[in-house]
Amino acid sequence: MPELPEVETVKNILKTTWLNKTIDHIEVLCPKMIKGDVNAFYSLAHQTLNDIQRKGKFLIFFFSNHLVLLSHLRMEGKFYLFHKDENNSRFARIIFYFTNDEKMCYDDSRKFGVMKVIHEDELKNEPWLTALGPEPFDIEDTSSLLLKAQKIHTPIKPFIMDQHVISGIGNIYADEILYRSLISPLEPASHLTKEDWDLLISNAKDILKTAIQEQGTTIRSYHPSKDMVGNFQNQLFVYGKKGDFCPTCHSPFMKIMVGGRGTTFCPNCQKKKYPPIVIGLTGAIGSGKSSALNYFKSLGLETISSDVIVRELYQDKSVQKHLISLFGKQIIHEHQVNFAYLRTLISEDSHKNKMLQDYLYPLVRNQLELFILHSNSKIVVIEVPLLFESHMDSLCNITIAIKISNENQRKNLKKRGQKEIDQMLLMNYKGEEYPYGNRVTYYLDTNNNKKALEKALEKIYKSLINGNTF
């Protein structure tokens, strides 16, 4: 967890608790944390600490015999000072005993931290340090960042967290910097302009400077020193605020995964520069929605079916638990949703059907929103049988409804081996009863002809890519 402000705080603390003190001996309780020459590490004994510096998230200790200790705290690393007769810290991994009856415990609950000892002459060529990009404080001209970003399509958040690009920024401050800069964490880095980079780096400097003044951020178990709390957590706007409301637009903050890291942001204030055109595809059961979706997929468009989302939701244990609370234990059979029972239940009881919809619709909508949000395509297609009834048409720029006669509808359901056709039609609209009217952008009546359907869809697609209005 320690990022640039936390490591800077640790450095400043160690300057008051370790500087000018001599090591008597060293006890290594977790040898895997020592990288490089182990004998060199033990040669720190009888040496005095002359200076401590920081580069990115690395601490650099300079000793009297021209040896240098490099330390990266990773997720949970801390240095705690004790009297030699006190008990060690709970997760002490390396202990430096001083000649003045004190000891410094390196504490690391997860054992992720690493240390290495090198000679001072090796410092300028040390790979741990030479691989680091500049810190935000060292960036005066953002042109090099602009040039580097234009060559890749990585989302901006993992890009600025890449220590080879910019050193010192981690998960906490990336969220805060992007929020203040009104940049979506999912925005491809290549989309940022020079003005965007200037603003981002300026905000990074300001946020990191303030965080250093507040001695960093304490999240859960992280403390820069014994009984010390970083106060910047009291100034966090977005990190860890999932469900809270944005102070600017009052929309709820959303938490998603970006580059494998939990990311909190405001989906309203931090919109992508080039959001995709969203096509909403709907129609009665058996109308040809799947064929239409597959056709769009064959064109290289990103597509998703709400039916697939629902099937995945039905596998979720928490969803199954809620279904039991709604419909009783018999709704689950051998850890699976009993679909035959569910179909009978909701086809015979409109109230229970509404209960199911009221529960599922928000879950499905959330998955569709995430799909659209994560997409880097110019056009995406979402298929939702009850697009308008669920109000998911609000996610769409255009909508396409496929018409089908009752006769062809039954024919298609029979062809696909669908049993209990009458029951299925009770749960869904019959083709000739679809009440869309003027709410639909494109209403396709191709008389159940697949080639005619694909031709109509091709015409719509070409209109979109040519920039025609709709």
Burial profile 428-465: b = 16 or more Cβ within 10 angstroms, e = fewer: bbbbeebebeeebbbbbebebeeeebbebbeebbeebe
Q: What is the rounded CA–CA span in Å between residue 199 and residue 194?
A: 9
Q: Which of 3, 135, 302, 383 is catalytic?
A: 3
- If residue 83 lies in a helix (H) or strand (E), which one and from where to where? strand 78-83
Under 8 Å between Cβ of 75 and 1: yes
3: annotated active-site residue = yes
88: β partners: none
Residue 209, C-beta contacts closer than 8 angstroms, at least 6 positions apart: 137
148: annotated active-site residue = no
3-class secondary structure, 199 = helix
Residue 157, C-beta contacts closer than 8 angstroms, at least 6 positions apart: 174, 175, 178, 185, 186, 258, 259, 261, 263
Other beta carbons within 10 angstroms of residue 251's beta carbon come to 12
* DSSP-assigned letter for residue 228: -
Under 8 Å between Cβ of 261 and 250: no
- Amino acid at site 415: K
302: annotated active-site residue = no
Under 8 Å between Cβ of 361 and 404: no
57: annotated active-site residue = yes
Q: How far apart are the first and last CA of the chain?
A: 49
- Residue at token pair 């009834």: 389
Strand (E) positions, 358-437? 379-383, 398-402
The CA R_g of the chain, rounded to the nearest whole Å, is: 30
- Amino acid at site 411: K
Cα dihedral 387, 392, 395, 399, rounded to 10, equals: 20
Q: Which of 35, 148, 205, 261 is catalytic?
A: 261
Lookup: tokens for 82: 């004790």
Give the number of residues written for the chain. Answer: 470
Q: Which of 2, 136, 276, 385 is catalytic?
A: 2
Other beta carbons within 10 angstroms of residue 116's beta carbon come to 19
Q: Which of 11, 55, 57, 410 is catalytic?
A: 57
Under 8 Å between Cβ of 202 and 36: no
Q: What is the rounded CA–CA span in Å between residue 287 and residue 122?
A: 71
Under 8 Å between Cβ of 279 and 395: no
Q: What is the rounded CA–CA span in Å between residue 274 and residue 390?
A: 26
Q: Which residues are catalytic?
A: 2-3, 57, 261
